[in-house]
């Protein structure tokens, strides 16, 4: 029996467990990445592990999220990350060098290698044939310390791309189509592999647009083969030696096969407020637009930008539209400046932003009240843009640019003559914004800078025998980490200050949550399906822990968030019978008995709803190591006990 692409990489990296669907496996990690919004915490945790130098082949710390420096906080965090990186053997990509996923693809990604990153869009690396997963910061810290990464061996989905794309239809439309088919929970517990004749017509950055948004499917990761196209890309980046061929075997076994017909694909749009609320641009019709934002780790490659510049050239942005463009990296921006296309954008009336996440994470460019904003990004969750009543639509760069000219959502296939936007033969390579770490000899001399914004992170107590608790919040299905712990320019600077952040926990759902939770000694949150989807931010677990949350009880969890809860020491439970969700309400008093004994012996837990006078069947999905972590009160306590 043959192997899928992912299985081939897993086979080479597995250090414990069996490569059997559903089994817990541990993988050796070759590379790690962090970004600044999760990185500060990840490096504090790395320091707590007491390891001098990273044990990975390559670890890179990026500054791309918190680049708006109003106040000292972000600048201090940048300095902290820069100094901690230098001391411990980590490369440091300075602010302005670009968005982590774009830069990693250009400069560091290697086919066949494993990568974990403290950002949910780390699967972007699947575009270059890496097995790349998003993870909580603590898991990334552990990988830097040389410890393996634990996942449940996923099911394998094959997406066949048949035919080829029509002019002005692009990779973004492919992944929006896949989202329409599979939904935001359709990828949970799965790896999505792309194959079929259409693959060879997609460049590495186009493939990366698709694997990037695999995060929105809830997938463990997504991956493309490493073929001649990958070879060409690495050669053009001056890294030909990093190429290896990596293809699925013809007799590889997939659990599910999806076919996407590229010939008939049309421009697509994800409507508010979920990336799977997908329709065709024509179906939505000529919606009046207030704002268009082009960029983000999904769509900010050189070719994306060249298409945009071509559409804008010699035209004027519609007077009712504010158009912003953030090229994804210093490399992209420099090349646009040199080939004159940056001037085409500026001439047309675009507002050029620095190469960073920017509006995607609410760092500026919040739309006007009730504003309609078209964005080439990957998430349109309620409130994420910074304007709660804004309507965010996710689209391709082609749709974005054409709509910015027309002032209404527009279908770019109306445009004539699409030029052949070829990847350049050589990218301009200048890594002078990537600081290498200090040598082993010099490392001890490096002083780590710590600003006053860095506060200790909370650590749980070991799991008690029984808990008297209260339901402090009950929420619906598909709650995102943006609901739990919002981002945005006002809050993000406090990612290393959990007490301050806690004031904003669940703010978009219930502004009274934080105050109420603090008053309850043992809090429980009750949720629906796919609780914790979206970002990898472990702040969505650390902050509830700080507010006294001991248990989160749901119908099901998103993968990274469940792992973050366990690492933090919050017990994730699910209903045995999903209908019991209706038998538990906010403010109900609960009792959970014999907890330690039950978990230690892998026996069922008894949860009594004292308010309703009933017992509710709950279960947990904890493998041996997870069980020990929960019993110990989180990963840090567990690791200390095993040192």
Q: Which positions touch ligand MIC (CB under 6 A)?
A: 37-38, 65, 119-121, 134, 361, 487, 534-537
Nearer to ligand MIC, 307 or 537 (CB): 537
The tokens describing 365, both together, are 């460019």
Nearer to ligand SF4, 297 or 526 (CB): 297
Contact between 502 and ligand SF4 by CB under 6 A: the answer reads no
Of the candidate residues 41, 73, 84, 99, the single one contacting ligand SF4 (CB under 6 A) = 99
Nearer to ligand MIC, 541 or 635 (CB): 541
Q: What, of ligand SF4, ligand MIC, none, does residue 323 touch, CB below 5 to 8 Å by kind?
A: none
Q: What, of ligand MIC, ligand SF4, none, does residue 99 touch, CB below 5 to 8 Å by kind?
A: ligand SF4
**Residue that is written with structure tokens 């038998």 in the block:** 583
Nearer to ligand SF4, 9 or 361 (CB): 361
247: closest CA among 9, 17, 58?
A: 9
Give 64-121 as a DSSP string. Answer: -SS---SSHHHHHHHHHHHHHHHHHT-EEE-TTSB-HHHHHHHHT--TT-EEEESSTT
Q: How far is residue 449's CA from residue 432's CA, in Å, rounded to a whole number? A: 22
Q: How far is residue 467's CA from residue 626's CA, in Å, rounded to a whole number? A: 20
Contact between 360 and ligand SF4 by CB under 6 A: the answer reads yes
Under rule CB under 6 A, which residues in 267-296 are in contact with ligand SF4? 296
Least Å from the CB of residue 470 to ligand MIC:
28
**Residue 557 has what DSSP assignment?**
B
Nearer to ligand SF4, 155 or 481 (CB): 481
Q: What, of ligand SF4, ligand MIC, none, does residue 296 touch, CB below 5 to 8 Å by kind?
A: ligand SF4
In contact, 396 and 377? CB cutoff 8 Å: no
Q: How far is residue 343's CA from residue 353's CA, in Å, rounded to a whole number? A: 14
Least Å from the CB of residue 38 to ligand MIC:
4
Least Å from the CB of residue 120 to ligand MIC:
4
Q: How far is residue 186's CA from residue 546's CA, in Å, rounded to a whole number? A: 32
The tokens describing 393, both together, are 């639509």
Q: How far is residue 114's CA from residue 135's CA, in Å, rounded to a whole number? A: 13
185: closest CA among 399, 601, 480, 619?
A: 480
Of the candidate residues 297, 342, 471, 505, the single one contacting ligand SF4 (CB under 6 A) = 297
Least Å from the CB of residue 205 to ligand MIC:
18
Contacts (Cβ under 8 Å, ≥6 apart) of 358: 67, 293, 295, 296, 324, 326, 364, 365
Q: What, of ligand SF4, ligand MIC, none, does residue 537 touch, CB below 5 to 8 Å by kind?
A: ligand MIC
Q: What, of ligand MIC, ligand SF4, none, does residue 172 touch, CB below 5 to 8 Å by kind?
A: none
Contact between 481 and ligand SF4 by CB under 6 A: the answer reads no
Nearer to ligand SF4, 364 or 407 (CB): 364
Q: What, of ligand MIC, ligand SF4, none, does residue 547 touch, CB below 5 to 8 Å by kind?
A: none
Contacts (Cβ under 8 Å, ≥6 apart) of 95: 63, 64, 67, 78, 354, 356
Least Å from the CB of residue 623 to ligand SF4:
29
Least Å from the CB of residue 58 to ligand MIC:
20
Query: Rounded to 5 degrees, what are φ and ψ at 306?
Result: -65, -35
374: closest CA among 529, 277, 269, 487?
A: 269
The tokens describing 460, both together, are 């749980």
The tokens describing 60, both together, are 């890179």
Under rule CB under 6 A, which residues in 64-93 are in contact with ligand SF4? 65
Contact between 560 and ligand SF4 by CB under 6 A: the answer reads no
Contacts (Cβ under 8 Å, ≥6 apart) of 38: 118, 119, 136, 137, 495, 536, 537, 538, 539
Q: What, of ligand SF4, ligand MIC, none, does residue 550 touch, CB below 5 to 8 Å by kind?
A: none
Of the candidate residues 365, 378, 387, 413, the single one contacting ligand SF4 (CB under 6 A) = 378
Least Å from the CB of residue 487 to ligand MIC:
6
Least Å from the CB of residue 534 to ligand MIC:
6
In contact, 498 and 457? CB cutoff 8 Å: yes
Per-residue binder mask for ligand SF4 (CB under 6 A), 318-357, x = binder? ---------------------------------------x
Least Å from the CB of residue 377 to ligand SF4:
6
Contact between 119 and ligand SF4 by CB under 6 A: the answer reads yes
Q: How far is residue 200's CA from residue 206's CA, in Å, rounded to a whole number? A: 11
Q: What, of ligand MIC, ligand SF4, none, does residue 275 touch, CB below 5 to 8 Å by kind?
A: none
Give 607-640 as a DSSP string. Answer: EEETTTTEEEEEE----HHHHHHHHHTSHHHHHH
Side by side, the strands of the sheet bearing 91-93 are 131-134, 114-117, 31-34, 58-62, 91-93, 434-435
Nearer to ligand SF4, 492 or 636 (CB): 492
Task: Report the 3 state secondary structure along 1-13.
Answer: CECCHHHHHHHHH
Q: What, of ligand SF4, ligand MIC, none, does residue 38 touch, CB below 5 to 8 Å by kind?
A: ligand MIC
Nearer to ligand SF4, 68 or 266 (CB): 68
Least Å from the CB of residue 616 to ligand SF4:
36
Least Å from the CB of residue 413 to ligand MIC:
29
Q: How far is residue 207's CA from residue 200's CA, in Å, rounded to a whole number? A: 10
Of the candidate residues 113, 121, 172, 207, the single one contacting ligand SF4 (CB under 6 A) = 121
Nearer to ligand SF4, 99 or 270 (CB): 99
114: closest CA among 218, 284, 246, 266?
A: 246
3 state SS of 461: coil
Least Å from the CB of residue 619 to ligand MIC:
27
Give residues in contact with ligand SF4 (CB under 6 A).
Answer: 65, 99, 119, 121, 296-297, 357, 360-361, 377-378
């Amino acid at each position: 029996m043959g192997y899928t692409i992912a299985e081939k990489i897993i086979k080479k990296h597995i250090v414990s467990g069996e490569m059997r669907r559903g089994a817990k496996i541990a993988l050796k990690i070759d590379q790690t990445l962090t970004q600044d919004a999760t990185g500060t915490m990840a490096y504090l945790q790395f320091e707590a592990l007491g390891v001098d130098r990273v044990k990975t082949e390559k670890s890179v710390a990026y500054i791309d999220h918190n680049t708006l420096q109003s106040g000292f906080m972000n600048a201090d965090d940048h300095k902290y990350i820069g100094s901690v990186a230098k001391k411990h053997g980590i490369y440091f990509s300075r602010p302005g060098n670009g968005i982590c996923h774009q830069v990693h693809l250009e400069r560091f990604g290697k086919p066949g290698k494993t990568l974990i990153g403290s950002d949910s869009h780390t699967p972007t690396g699947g575009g270059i044939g890496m097995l790349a997963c998003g993870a909580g910061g603590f898991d990334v810290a552990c990988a830097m310390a040389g410890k393996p990464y634990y996942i449940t061996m996923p099911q394998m989905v094959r997406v066949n791309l048949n035919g080829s794309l029509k002019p002005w239809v692009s990779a973004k439309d492919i992944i929006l189509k896949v989202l329409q088919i599979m939904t935001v929970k359709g990828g949970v517990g799965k790896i999505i592999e792309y194959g079929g004749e259409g693959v060879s017509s997609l460049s590495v950055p186009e493939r990366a647009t698709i694997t990037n948004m695999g995060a929105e499917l809830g997938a463990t990761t997504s991956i493309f083969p490493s073929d001649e196209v990958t070879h060409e890309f690495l050669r053009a980046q001056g890294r030909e030696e990093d190429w290896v061929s990596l293809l699925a075997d013809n007799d590889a076994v997939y659990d599910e096969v999806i076919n996407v017909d590229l010939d008939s694909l049309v421009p697509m749009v994800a409507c508010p407020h979920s990336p799977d609320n997908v329709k065709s641009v024509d179906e939505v019709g000529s919606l009046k637009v207030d704002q268009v934002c082009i960029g983000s780790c999904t769509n900010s490659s050189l070719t994306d930008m060249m298409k945009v510049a071509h559409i804008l050239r010699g035209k004027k942005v519609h007077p009712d539209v504010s158009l912003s463009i953030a090229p994804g990296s210093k490399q992209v921006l420099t090349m646009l400046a040199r080939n004159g296309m940056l001037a085409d954008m500026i001439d047309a009336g675009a507002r050029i932003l620095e190469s960073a996440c920017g509006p995607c994470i609410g760092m500026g460019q919040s739309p006007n009240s009730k504003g309609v904003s078209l964005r080439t990004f990957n998430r349109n969750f309620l409130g994420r843009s910074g304007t709660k009543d804004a309507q965010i639509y996710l689209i391709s760069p082609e749709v974005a640019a054409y709509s910015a000219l027309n002032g209404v959502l527009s279908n770019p296939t109306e445009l004539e003559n699409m030029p052949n936007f070829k990847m350049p033969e050589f990218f301009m390579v200048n890594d002078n914004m990537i600081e290498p770490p200090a040598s082993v000899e010099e490392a001890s001399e490096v002083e780590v800078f710590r600003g006053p914004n860095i506060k200790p992170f909370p650590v749980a107590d070991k799991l008690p025998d029984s808990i008297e608790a209260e339901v402090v919040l009950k929420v619906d299905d598909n709650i995102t980490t943006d609901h739990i712990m919002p981002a945005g320019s006002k809050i993000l600077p406090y990612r290393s200050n959990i007490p301050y952040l806690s004031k904003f926990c669940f703010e978009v759902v219930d502004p009274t949550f934080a105050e109420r939770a603090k008053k309850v000694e043992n809090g429980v949150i009750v949720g629906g399906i796919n609780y914790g989807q979206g970002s990898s931010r472990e702040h969505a677990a650390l902050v509830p822990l700080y507010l006294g949350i001991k248990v989160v009880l749901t119908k099901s969890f998103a993968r990274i968030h469940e792992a973050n809860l366990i690492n933090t020491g919050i017990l994730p439970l699910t209903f045995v019978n999903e209908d019991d969700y209706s038998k538990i309400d906010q403010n109900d008093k609960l009792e959970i008995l014999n907890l330690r004994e039950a978990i230690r012996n892998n026996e069922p837990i008894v949860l009594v709803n004292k308010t309703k006078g009933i017992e509710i069947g709950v279960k947990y999905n904890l493998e041996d190591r997870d069980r020990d972590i929960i019993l110990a009160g989180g990963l840090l306590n567990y690791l200390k006990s095993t040192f």
